[in-house]
Chains A and B, each alone.
Chain A
Amino acid sequence: MNDNIIQRIRKNVEICPDKLALEVESYSINYFELWGKSSKIAELLRSFNVFQQNVGILAYRSLSTYTGILGALISGNTYLPFNPKFPNERIYKMIKSANARAFIVGKEFVPILNLLENEINEKLLFFAPEIKKKDLPLLKSKIICSEDFENIKSNDKISAVGFEDIAYLIFTSGTTGEPKGIPISHKNLINFIDMNQKNYPLSINDRCSQAFPTTFDCSVQDIFATWNAGSCLVCVPESDLFAPARFINEKNLTVWYSVPSVAMFMKRMNILKDNIFPSLRYSLFCGEALNEHIAVSWQKAAPNSLVVNLYGPAENTIAITNYTWKKELNNSVNGIVPLGKVYPTHDFLIVDDNLNPVGNNEPGELLISGPQVSSGYLNDDILTLKKFIRLEQKGDKVWYRTGDLVQEDEDDDLHFLGRMDHQVKIRGYRVELEEVEKVVREASGRDFAVALSYPFHNPVAESIVVVLEDCKFNATNIISFCKTILPDYMIPKDIIAIPFIPLNNNGKIDKNKIISMLKENHGN
């Protein structure tokens, strides 16, 4: 582990400068051009003394997204990705929490620059490498447009960063109602990249999908596993994400990586036909439970491909276990493909409620320790101490409590059994139900709101419903309010009235009783 990811990419620029590095929108650029554009951004960031800061990427599925990410890293900064689908309120919270003052801007975010500037109420720095001055609004902040970039020369300079410096900052749902920042260091990242390259080697001939939103940490694997190997990153346009079959074939992709839901949608729409994806050699799935019937269908659709289930919380840098699915192994539990084995670079424990290791093959919470484990949460020492723990009998090692209930089988493969808390996954996104409840309480003025994943008791959640007492509320207004605060995957599908909120013997809200009441009154 002598080089960080930027030095690796720089080497590829020397080895294969003419090789395609990125296809996005109508652009196809090689490694030399990618570095050239990114190093100009880096040079401008340096010229404004932006170093070891959180640089916001206000760009999405456009050229500036990728050159901005690389430029931020070349100049020794941390990149912080944003999604234009997020409500402005959430974007402001993330910016304030990360104290970001410099931003790479793509055309996707131009409409909110004025609002953002007013909300932050400080002088900001906007770098818009692909936008002409005439297409930008009048701002109080400093803005560097495409004309300014023309005068900058690209160069080979890489600002010094240590392995403990932060490469990216990703936000997920938080139980307190505020998005939670997870800083991932260069050490975390390069350890993951090396493990990934060892397990599923990429070559300069590979063409890898970039389907995940950049606010989803699996996008980091898309981008950097690809550029680490000198492969070509192919950005999937928003319009094709829903059912990308045609895109995979037209672009001759060799690697597909997405949440299993994408495969499920294609199967349901009768698109997932046998041998429809002959070019694929790796099909990677991550972010939510992979149903066996989806794995079976995908394997038939991509007969030349390995079908791989990856698992890992964002706090453990993208993925920490892998399982290459094979039908003949018949190793699924409850129809869910195993998580597989923890990477050999890491230690793991399966523990009971008292943090004592469980007996052989007994279920318990998964704890992880090793070089991919983040240092903790941004600005939240209390939560960090709760989730990143030390165990008396294990010395100085830090263990991350995943909150995932798992079981190890006779072949040492882990199986996912459920969550220990109220976190659910919607299309791969982590959702803390408490965060949804908080916003609904605020919107409805009620003391109690109970968020439930739907379908009830299904290991793969599709949406969220919220239950309120009595029926004197306007569900449309509550959902409209939620849309101003929460990203689309967290917005409740429905607000349902029940006569009373039942409590169990411990005085806690009895969710099972609520589900029974709903099934009685509304069916499944």
Chain B
Amino acid sequence: MATNDELKQFVINKIVKKSTQQGLKLDTIEDNFSLTGSGLFDSMDFLNLINEVESSFKLVVDFSDAAPEEFTTLGGFIMNCK
């Protein structure tokens, strides 16, 4: 079972990779960092991130109890990975 820290590091690595691809430099990535609102992830990227997290950590992501503004942030995304 992956710890929240491992999951978080995995997602942060993806964020950094995306920002590098887009020629952006991020100073800090806090829990309230918006994955979709930042412009780094569009809806398809977000689904791909779910796929990668599920297959890498053998878990199911379930956002049925969360609000979009919550689960699209770094912290909210990690919290809803069950």
Contacts and interface: CB of A to CB of B under 8 A. Distances in A.
B47 A463 contact: no
B21 A269 contact: no
Nearest to A272: B64
A261 B43 contact: yes
B64 A476 contact: no
Given A480-B23, A488-B42, A273 B64 contact: yes
A270 interface: yes
A273 B64 CA distance: 8
A270 B63 contact: yes
Contacts of A462: 44
B22 to A, nearest CB: 7
A243 interface: yes
A101 to B, nearest CB: 32
B63 A239 contact: no
Contacts of B64: 245, 269-271, 273, 276
B43 A476 contact: no
Interface residues of A, number: 24
A269 B61 contact: yes
A273 B65 CA distance: 11
A271 B63 contact: yes
A481 to B, nearest CB: 11
Given A261-B43, A265-B43, A463-B44, A242 B72 contact: yes
A246 interface: yes
Interface string A418-431: 00000000010000
A270 B67 contact: no
Contact of A270 (B22, B23, B62): B62
A476 B50 contact: no
A479 interface: yes
Interface in A53-106: none
A243 B61 CA distance: 14
A373 B62 CA distance: 44
Nearest to B44: A462
B47 A476 contact: no
A253 to B, nearest CB: 16
Contacts of A243: 63, 68, 71
A240 interface: yes
Nearest to A265: B43
B22 A479 contact: yes
Nearest to A463: B44
A268 interface: yes
Contacts of B72: 242
A463 B43 CA distance: 11
B60 interface: yes
B63 A269 contact: yes
A394 B69 CA distance: 55
Contacts of B23: 476-477, 480
A476 B22 contact: yes
A455 to B, nearest CB: 11
A268 B51 CA distance: 9
B21 A268 contact: no
Contacts of B42: 488
Contact of B50 (A239, A268, A276, A479): A268
Interface string B43-55: 1101100100000
A242 B68 contact: yes
A240 B44 CA distance: 16
Given A239-B69, A476-B21, A270 B43 contact: no
Nearest to A270: B62
Contacts of B69: 239
B43 A239 contact: no
Contacts of A265: 43, 46-47
Nearest to A268: B47
Tell me which of A270, A276, A480, A488 has the highest count of chain B C-beta atoms within 10 A of its own C-beta: A270
Contact of A269 (B22, B36, B50): B50
A69 B62 CA distance: 39
A251 to B, nearest CB: 14
Nearest to B23: A476
Nearest to A239: B69
Contact of B43 (A240, A242, A244, A479): A242
Point out which of B60, B63, B71 has the most chain A C-beta atoms below 10 A from its C-beta: B63
B62 A242 contact: no
A390 B16 CA distance: 56
Contacts of A270: 60-64
Interface string B6-28: 00000000000000011100000
A488 B42 CA distance: 9
Interface in A478-512: 479-480, 488, 493
10 contacts: A269-B62, A269-B63, A270-B63, A271-B63, A273-B64, A276-B64, A476-B21, A477-B23, A488-B42, A493-B44
Given A239-B68, A265-B43, A269-B71, 19 more contacts: A240-B68, A242-B46, A243-B63, A244-B68, A246-B68, A265-B46, A268-B50, A269-B47, A269-B61, A269-B63, A269-B64, A270-B61, A270-B62, A271-B63, A271-B64, A276-B64, A462-B44, A479-B22, A488-B42
8 closest A-B pairs by beta carbon, nearest first, are A270-B62, A269-B63, A476-B23, A243-B68, A242-B68, A271-B64, A462-B44, A239-B69
Interface of A: 239-240, 242-246, 261, 265, 268-271, 273, 276, 427, 462-463, 476-477, 479-480, 488, 493
